[in-house]
Structure 1
């Protein structure tokens, strides 16, 4: 698990900025160190199939507005050795924060499962 704090992230749904954290889970390897500053070009890690309940290689991430108790996940039912079970629902939908760059050379796509969405083109994520 990697947890990155993003100060003053733009939230599309409110048209305001707010500090957020993103928790990246199920990584096969981690390429950053605790306390390291990152940019949009920093490779954080490699997605994988780690964790007790993982059913295949993927990247599970959560966007959270609770930057004080950032290791508590409102979506986790019980505590793990890294992330603790949370109670407050402070998680944001990815479409509230993320942009998708589906043009060359990035050709990005975002697949959101369990939320009724199929892909970034069908989910109305902001595209630039």
Structure 2
């Protein structure tokens, strides 16, 4: 019985996107919070008799930088996420196409089986990385 041939995936385009998305969102939130704090400092300083005109400007500078960098990182993370989704969709479409056309050796048992369809659990059992219950027990006992 032959092992199933899996479709090729371009792994060079795959990368994790969660870290970039989370970092981008956190930087955007930090920038927004800094802008609010800067505006509160500017308002309270302008209401004070001895207030400064430059109060809160540091908050605004940080808010602008954090917001700009956060937006760029968020867009990069979302772009990578959509790339990963496209790669997954291409892989699934290729697997489904192979199963429908019969190009996949895992979809039929071959000449010895009389051309009958093989269930997904039987197809998985032919894969080299499949682990049977007996193998799991033997690994646990070691």
TM-score range, shorter chain: under 0.3
**Could you state the TM-score of these two structures normalised by the residue count of structure 1?**
0.19
- Flag the structure with higher helix content: 2
Higher relative contact order (CA 8 A, sep 6+): 2
- Flag the structure with higher strand content: 1
**Could you state the TM-score of these two structures normalised by the residue count of structure 2?**
0.18
- Structure (1 or 2) with the larger CA radius of gyration: 2
